[in-house]
Chain A
Amino acid sequence: MSAPELVGGSAADRERIAHELVTVTIDGRQVQVPKGTGLVEAAAAAGVEIPVFCYEPRVGAGIGACRMCLVEIEGMPKLQTGCTTPVTDGMVVHTAGTSEQAAAGQSATMEFLLLNHPLDCPVCDKGGECALQDLSFRYGSGKTRMTFRKRSLEKPIPISPTIALDRERCIMCFRCTRFSQEVAQDEELSAVNRGALSMIATFEDEPYRGPFSGNVTELCPVGALTSTQYRFKARPWEYEQAASVCGLCPVGCNVAVQSREGRVQRVLSRNHPEVDRGWLCDKGRFSYSHLYSEERILTPRRRGVRELEELGWEQALDELEGMIERAQGEVVLALSGSETLELAYALAKIVRQGAGSDRVVLPEQAADALDPFRVPISALAEAEEIVVFEECPVLDRAPLIELWLKQARRNGAHVTRIGPSGDIQRGRGEAALACQELAEKESALGKRLRAAERAILLWSGGGGAGGCHLAALAHALGLHEKEGSGALLLPASPNARGVAEAWAAAGDENRQPRQIGLLVVSGDEAASEPQVRQLAEHARATVALTLFAGDSGEWADLVLPATGYLERSGTMRNLEGRLQRLRGATGSPARRELSWLAELAGRLGVDLPGSEAALFTELSAKVLDGISLASLGDRAPLPPRVEAQTFEAARAESPPTLLGGPLELIRYRALFSGPEVEHVPELSFQRPAAEVEISPEDADRRGISGGNEVVVRSNGTRVTLRARINAALLPGMVRVAAEHCAELARGVEVSRP
């Protein structure tokens, strides 16, 4: 049996009391637990079950809302709720199993909960995995004494395009509102009215618009909050489940991908306590249906006279082989960082060994210098000091980290954000300078960081030499010597580190062609990158492996269909350096990449196995110290820290001066952007609005107020957007989502039309 988890209080408090043990007797069984343990956990440690609905330690301490956990405690005149009672030494507890009074209380609670609960289990999406269904089967009476009509309310109410609310089924456990108020801290869900009329609602019927809203569907113990995408798609016992990892951001949340009849039906959390603690962002949870978009390409396409025309695989491979031959070694591979290690390795092998070129475009990634400061993400919750160099918002790069930061703040940590809209405002490109100053100059923050027992540094943004500046700061602070301290870089792509490793493993020569005979672009992310697009303009021929032909279709000569991350098997390395396994949940409607890559390799005389497992074995022998797939398990362990070495980080430089306009444009890739979101109609309400964020000072100077239509222009490009005043933004900066900035340069001017 696992040790009971302590809830609430600061890290230091928990450490102190964890050593004091108390003895309690529950249903005649004596058990020793740390002081302060809740009664529900203590009972679990004694092997006694106290049933609960509202109690969920991840959303905060127990509140005793559902009354299901009623127990009799000797010396107390009335029944007590187990979830709000911490155990004390010598406490004698009788649960419903041994106490008649407790059993009567519990069955009355059950009867009240079911009084107005509709009997629509056959229709309800929760039926089969419902806590209320399970517990009423075990503790309920089986007959109702209710002879009146049950309460009937309007249902289902879409509280957002992704979530449906059924108020008849709600048992008012407040799990969802506590999640919204304490965990996600978006304060969007709350209970309105009182007594029998109380119900869950959003403010003024506005949609629940938060990046983590989907978690309430998984938290709800009944079928009151359900996913609209998954509505009536399958019953819980009809699934095939694959224990995979989300491949949309570098956090790598562990997910259970549930599919039926060859289609992914929903994505649930698999709770890796060190990575995601059972939470997912809405992008990871709801974007799976992009796989079934009608715009997804399933067959190879070639540039025809007017548009792309379909062709068979045999022809496509002939074409590709011809392209590689004609390129005569002048091949460039652009990887997006969303590939698995295995796929990146296969591509790298074809380019390096088959085409004879060693030129690659890799996504930004963490440098090896950060390895001595490796720390699990969950350490954020226990940290005392956290400094975030936040050029790009953490939420947009690695959304789950934002939840961990909120948790850290709740546990009493100081979180300092340094960036264009942070607590310490620094301009764009000045993060490295700020890092250097913190290491070298005396400051209050520097003192606090040195004094803290557990301090964590985060780097969210480009530049900084892959975290070398951050590593230098971490080294100066001595974070490698402190347990629970460390430094993490949040890269822009999910498997940036992994694809670089795979590229390195595929060859050791360094032939750099001057011209581009053939550009191979892997992944939609790479295809939408302006830098890759520029390369494509210089290339004599281009091949793209993408899910959609939106970006690549404009310039690629050959577009080959890719598979999605939910269909792929393989491994990915997340931002901590944790190597995690993806398990393909379903087959792919498009041909697997490894299958045709193996065929192509055969034509080019490269030895390339067609299975992920064989590729992993090959990779493992070369770069992963011979570890086996089995050692990664379902919840992968964090590799140990490496020995810290002193090194000289290059001096940070001031960012180059602006050209084109007086205001600096910060082009950011919002969380809800990219092809995975664009092809999911339910998520379109979350996509960034066509807005320009501007500081109050700059807005005043230009006579702009919030909501005005303004023109953003640079070098002859103009975009009309709506102005939004962002008081936290450093004057001289404007922020626009990447999908709305078109071809704007770095320096822009904003004016009224």
Chain B
Amino acid sequence: MIGSTLITVGRSLGVTLKQIFRGTVTEQYPEYKRPVYPRFRGRHRLNLHENGLEKCVGCSLCAAACPVDCIRVVAAENSADNRVSAGERYARIYEINLSRCIFCGYCELACPFDAITLGNDYELSEYSRSDLIYTKEMLLADPIKRTPVADAALYDTPTPYYRTDS
């Protein structure tokens, strides 16, 4: 009776001992951030042309492609003294509700001008839901490079051309 109990205890202690000599698997997030895959789909960004004009013309195709209806675009017309985008039309309001977004990436596929691309940032927690509605200014701003990206060469699928700059 006692013998069988000792055997059981010994066996479970053996499991514990074995784990002690295995290396650690816990990653010290947020102190350490593991690199994400190059094609990881995180927070969106809106891109600019080299001359500083917005690539987005406010065509709403991203909003049409969005399966969860989290994008709102209200367009307006460029004028001589207020030229925002390259075409006749620009997005006066461009909002993404990131609390609804499922990061499917359809918006960047739909975009005819590569104006919207998905970046790598996934740290998007906020205290208030309304803070998760990202405005055009937030999406245009350079991302704070918080998320390291793994070397694309390690993977056999290349990063698509429209995401090379993120």
Contact = CB atoms under 8 A, between A and B. Distances in A.
A231 B77 contact: yes
A313 interface: no
B77 A122 contact: no
Contact of B58 (A156, A232, A261): A232
B108 to A, nearest CB: 14
Interface residues of A, number: 15
B40 to A, nearest CB: 28
A235 interface: yes
B130 to A, nearest CB: 18
Nearest to A128: B64
A232 B113 CA distance: 17
A127 interface: yes
B102 interface: no
Contact of B87 (A120, A233, A237): A120
B59 A235 contact: yes
Contacts of A156: 88
B75 interface: yes
Interface in A348-383: none
B89 A232 contact: yes
Contacts of A121: 112
A511 to B, nearest CB: 55
B57 interface: yes
A122 B57 contact: yes
A237 B87 CA distance: 21
Interface in A223-249: 231-235, 237-238
B59 A127 contact: yes
B152 interface: no
Interface string A112-132: 000000001111000100000
B113 A122 contact: yes
B68 interface: no
B122 to A, nearest CB: 29
B53 interface: no
Nearest to A237: B64
B60 A123 contact: no
A123 B64 contact: no
Interface residues of B, number: 16
Interface in B52-106: 57-61, 63-64, 74-77, 87-89
Interface string A718-747: 000000000000000000000000000000
A123 B76 contact: no
Nearest to A261: B74
A155 B89 CA distance: 13
Nearest to B64: A237
Contact of A122 (B61, B74, B76): B61
Nearest to B72: A261
B88 A123 contact: yes
B78 to A, nearest CB: 10
A155 B57 CA distance: 17
A323 B93 CA distance: 47
A235 B74 CA distance: 10
Nearest to A166: B88
A120 B58 CA distance: 12
Interface in A103-147: 120-123, 127
Contact of A235 (B60, B76, B87): B60
Contacts of A232: 58, 75-77, 88-89
Contacts of B74: 261
A477 B89 CA distance: 60
B113 to A, nearest CB: 7
B75 to A, nearest CB: 4
Contacts of A234: 60
B75 A122 contact: no
A717 to B, nearest CB: 45
Nearest to A119: B112
A237 B113 CA distance: 20
A277 to B, nearest CB: 32
Nearest to A260: B74
Nearest to A155: B88
Nearest to B112: A122
Contacts of B75: 232-233
B13 to A, nearest CB: 66
Interface in B22-75: 57-61, 63-64, 74-75
A437 to B, nearest CB: 58
A144 to B, nearest CB: 16
Contacts of B61: 122
Contacts of A155: 88
A120 B87 CA distance: 9
A354 B74 CA distance: 48
Contacts of B87: 120, 122-123
A557 B102 CA distance: 56
A179 B50 CA distance: 46
Nearest to A120: B87
Contacts of B113: 122
A121 B60 CA distance: 11
Contacts of B77: 231-232
Nearest to B74: A261
Given A231-B77, A232-B76, A232-B77, A238 B88 contact: no
B152 to A, nearest CB: 30
Contacts of A122: 57, 59, 61, 87, 112-113
Most buried by B among A123, A127, A235: A123
Most buried by B among A120, A127, A155, A232: A232
Interface string B91-133: 0000000000000000000001100000000000000000000
Nearest to B85: A123
18 contacts: A120-B88, A121-B112, A122-B59, A122-B61, A122-B113, A123-B59, A123-B88, A127-B59, A156-B88, A232-B58, A232-B75, A232-B76, A232-B77, A235-B59, A235-B60, A238-B60, A238-B63, A261-B74
Given A122-B59, A123-B87, A127-B59, 6 more contacts: A122-B113, A232-B75, A232-B89, A235-B59, A235-B64, A261-B74
The 3 closest A-B pairs by CB, nearest first: A122-B59, A232-B75, A235-B60
